[in-house]
Amino acid sequence: MNAGQSRYGYVFVSGYTLLLLAFGLLPTLYAIYLAFTRNGAFVGFDNFVRVFGDYRFLPAVAHVALYVVYWLVSLIIFVVILALIVHAVRVRWLGNAARFLFYIPGAIAGASSVLLWLFVLDPSVSPVSALLKSMGYDSLVSVVAVGNLPVVFTVIAFWAGAGGWIVIMYGALNNISGDIMEAARIDGAGPVQTAWHIQLPMLTKWISYMGIMSLAAGTQLFVEPKILAQATKNVVPEDYSLNQLAYLYAFRQNDFSGSAAISIVLLVVALGLSTIFIFRGRLFDSE
Partner 1 sequence: MSDITLRRRRAISPGQWIGRALVAIVLITFAAFFILPIVWLVLAPTKSNSQLLLDGPFSFGSFDQLAANWDQLFAFGSGVFTTWIGNSVFYSFSALVITLIVSIPAGYALALIEFKGRRLLLVTTLIVMLIPNTALVLPIFLELSAARLIGSPLAVILPFSFFPFGVYLTYIYFSTAVSRDLLNAARIDGAGELRVFGQVAMPLATPVIALVGFFSFVANWNNYFLPFLVVGGQKIPVQVGLSNLLANVPAFNPTTATSIVIELPTLALATLLSVAPILIIFLFAQRFLVEGMTAGGTKE
Of 230-269, binders to partner 1 (CB under 8 A) are 230-233, 243, 246-247, 250, 256, 259-260, 262-263, 266-267
Compute the least distance from the CB of residue 102 to partner 1, in Å: 5
Q: Residue 139 interacts with partner 1 (CB under 8 A)? A: no
The closest of 259, 235, 172, 247 to 208, measured between CA atoms, is: 172
> Which residue in 38, 72, 164, 207 binds partner 1 (CB under 8 A)?
164
Query: How far is Cα of residue 83 from the mean position of the Cα atoms in its chain?
Result: 19
Query: How many whole angstroms separate alpha carbon 251 and alpha carbon 240?
Result: 16
Give least dist CB 178 to partner 1, A: 19
| Beta carbon of residue 46, minimum distance to partner 1 (angstroms, whole number) | 18
Q: How many residues bind partner 1 (CB under 8 A)?
A: 109
Nearest CA to 105 out of 160, 166, 162 is that of 160
When asked if residue 90 is in the footprint of partner 1 (CB under 8 A), the reply is no
The residue (of 108 and 181) whose beta carbon lies closer to partner 1 is 108
> What x/- string results for residues 174 through 213 when contact with partner 1 is judged by CB under 8 A?
-x---------------x--------------x--x--xx
User: Does 227 participate in binding partner 1 (rule CB under 8 A)?
Assistant: yes
Tell me whether residue 150 or residue 228 sits nearer to partner 1 (CB atom).
228
User: In whole angstroms, what is the distance from residue 108 CA to residue 91 CA?
Assistant: 28
Give the distance, in angstroms, between the CA of residue 55 and the centroid of all CA atoms in the same chain: 26
Looking at beta carbons only, is 125 or 183 nearer to partner 1?
125
Taking CB under 8 A as the criterion, which residues in 61-80 touch partner 1?
A: 78
Specify whether the CB–CB gap between 111 and 227 falls below 8 A. yes
Question: By rule CB under 8 A, what string of x and - marks binding of each residue 17-56 to partner 1?
Answer: xxxx-xxx-xxx-xx--x----------------------
Kind of pairing between the strands at 41-42 and 37-38: antiparallel
Q: Which amino acid is at 147?
A: G
Question: In this structure, which amino acid lies at residue 40?
Answer: G
Out of 60, 82, 152, 236, point to the residue binding partner 1 (CB under 8 A). 82
Closest CA to 232 of 136, 139, 133: 139
Q: How much helix, strand and coil, in percent to the nearest 5, is found in the chain?
A: 75, 0, 20
Q: Which one of residues 37, 74, 148, 274 is an interface residue with partner 1 (CB under 8 A)?
A: 274
**Nearer CB in complex with partner 1: 197/205:** 205
148 DSSP 8-state letter:
G
Residue 203 beta carbon to partner 1: minimum distance, rounded to whole angstroms = 11
> Binders of partner 1 among 96-115, rule CB under 8 A?
98, 100-112, 115
Q: Which is nearer to partner 1, 76 or 89 (CB)?
A: 89
CA–CA distance, 164 with 209 (Å, rounded to integer): 13
**Residue number with CB closer to partner 1 (59 or 164):** 164
Each residue of 108-141: b (16+ CB within 10 Å) or e? eeeeebbeebbebbbbeebeebeebeeeebeebe
